[in-house]
A and B are shown apart, each in its own frame.
Chain A
Amino acid sequence: MRTLWGVEANGGGANLGNSDSDIWARVLSGEGRAFGELWGRHRDRVFRHARHLLAHHADAEDATAMAFLELWRRRQDARVVDGSLLPWLLVVTTNVVRNASRSRRRYRALLARLPDPEPVRDAGELIADQAEARTRLAGFTRLSAADQQIIALVAFDDLPLEDAAAALGISYGAAKTRLSRARARLEEHHE
């Protein structure tokens, strides 16, 4: 059976003139303002993803910033999945969190220029956040990098498995197998 896919004149099947593909092309041509648009478009989803993985609000903000900087640094490798950069950004975010020390060293100058995080008003809330994170991440941090990626994308961020597979550069079947394996290992760690 053959499937016919349409590609519009500006090159994107899901392209409405203001898709990630369009904006990303402007970024790659050196238009800084376009990168600001991407930030506005995906900041909150990336931040929520980082928040799943980190106990501290300020750390998640830093990780969000570093994920976008990594997107730029590794722009030759970035994947646009069905017209969206979000899956790739989420993959990068998980990597940034996993390699937090290295990422912070790389971007320490920029992080130092940012305004200080908002002070914690309620120590009780902070302790509750940390306890919640410990519970949420129990077992997760003991998974392999590949297993963490698939769990973070699908279980934490509700990304469709097909998009997660494309972002990770693996087949749908391989992603399904990897997810099943990762969930089993996660359960083992919880027991």
Chain B
Amino acid sequence: MNDTFSPERSDAIRTELVAVVDRAPARPPRRILVGVGLVVAGLLAGGGATAATAGIWHPQPFLPQGQPVTAPTSNLGVVAPAGYAPGQPIVSLVGGVTSYVVDGQERIIQLAVPDGATHLRVTVTCTSAGTTAWGFDAGGNNPNSSCGASDVDTLSATGYMDFDLNDSSAYPQRDLFYVQPGAGVSSIVTLQYLNLIETAWVVNAAGETCGVAKAGFGEPDLVGVEALTPSGEYVTAYARSEQLAYPFPGQTEPTSPADALAQQAQHQQQYPAGIDIPAFECDGVTQVGVFHVG
């Protein structure tokens, strides 16, 4: 069996690969722009953290509750430059990326924050059911994530959170990072340093905010989606947050998990092909297409 790669083809492929990266726009893939506020119930929920209603971008950001983490408290930030949706942070990697397998035992990871890093992104993928706490508090007062057995081996098993390294009140000790799994709980933890610049949502003439969800802060009134235009093209547009959350006529907030399942079954029966909701420009008035739900 000939196991040598043809040098000529290898050189050609290398050239193509280099060009693919060089040609790519200087922004994350388009999916990051899509914050649709769907498909969130039950994702990594439980314990002190719930998955954000941030949309279909994988992995999902966590929204820890009642824990010492920082989050934007107002719609602050620079004006989103071309190629970024309002509210979408401008993220640059600083240094490398490292993954650790955590298997039942507490791990303490020694950090050395490189120059220029503003945040530490921690991505956790559950590889077994259970709860894992992770953060800067040696005593365990940290955000945590939980997975059910059905989450393991699915996209729901992964989530991330960005720790603001400049917030000395929240993280006075930032040289050690603690991963504290429950008994027998395993996960894969990835650390990467970021330089993260917040961008602000646009506020339109009606006072509505427009953009994509900000982790830890919430959603704007008009949420970025990839909408289908009448000519069959997909464009970035904005759907009303409330309609994304409750797209079906008469739909209300479920009062219990059983109610949520009953509503879901009813909607699948009444709208087997799903439903289209209007998508607008940031003004909330000019409709440019529809966003399909279901």
Contacts and interface: CB of A to CB of B under 8 A. Distances in A.
Partners in one complex: yes
A69 B17 contact: yes
Interface stretch (B74-82, B87-95, B199-207): B87-95
B14 A39 contact: yes
A54 B29 CA distance: 31
A11 B94 contact: yes
A36 B31 CA distance: 25
A80 interface: yes
B285 interface: no
5 nearest A-B residue pairs (beta carbon): A21-B96, A11-B95, A32-B22, A171-B127, A12-B96
14 contacts: A5-B110, A7-B111, A11-B94, A24-B96, A25-B93, A25-B192, A65-B17, A72-B17, A76-B32, A166-B99, A171-B127, A171-B186, A173-B186, A174-B127
Given A12-B95, A174-B127, A32 B108 contact: no
Nearest to A76: B29
Size class of the B contact interface (CB-based, 8 Å): 35 or more
Contacts of A171: 103, 127-128, 186
Interface string B5-47: 1101110111111111110101011011000000000000000
Given A2-B105, A9-B114, A117-B9, A24 B21 contact: no
A69 B10 CA distance: 14
Contacts of A77: 58
A14 interface: yes
B98 A43 contact: no
Nearest to A3: B107
Given A79-B99, A114-B13, 11 more contacts: A4-B108, A7-B109, A11-B94, A11-B192, A15-B98, A30-B21, A36-B18, A47-B3, A51-B1, A83-B98, A162-B101
Contacts of A179: none
Contact of A69 (B20, B24, B190): B20
Interface in B179-220: 186, 188, 190-193
Interface string A36-69: 1001100110011001000001000100110011
Interface of A: 1-15, 19, 21-22, 24-25, 27-36, 39-40, 43-44, 47-48, 51, 57, 61, 64-65, 68-69, 72, 75-77, 79-83, 110, 113-115, 117-118, 125, 129, 132, 162, 165-166, 169-174
Contact of B99 (A2, A82, A113): A82
Contacts, number: 186
B157 interface: yes
A14 B97 CA distance: 10
A177 to B, nearest CB: 12
A166 B111 CA distance: 22
Contacts of A33: 18
B100 interface: yes
Interface of B is mostly: mixed
Contacts of A30: 21-22, 24, 26
Contacts of A8: 112
A3 B108 contact: yes
B14 A40 contact: yes
B108 A2 contact: yes
A5 B109 contact: yes
Contact of A169 (B6, B107, B127): B127
Contacts of A7: 98, 109-112, 191
Given A61-B5, A118-B6, A169-B158, A15 B125 contact: no
Contacts of B15: 36
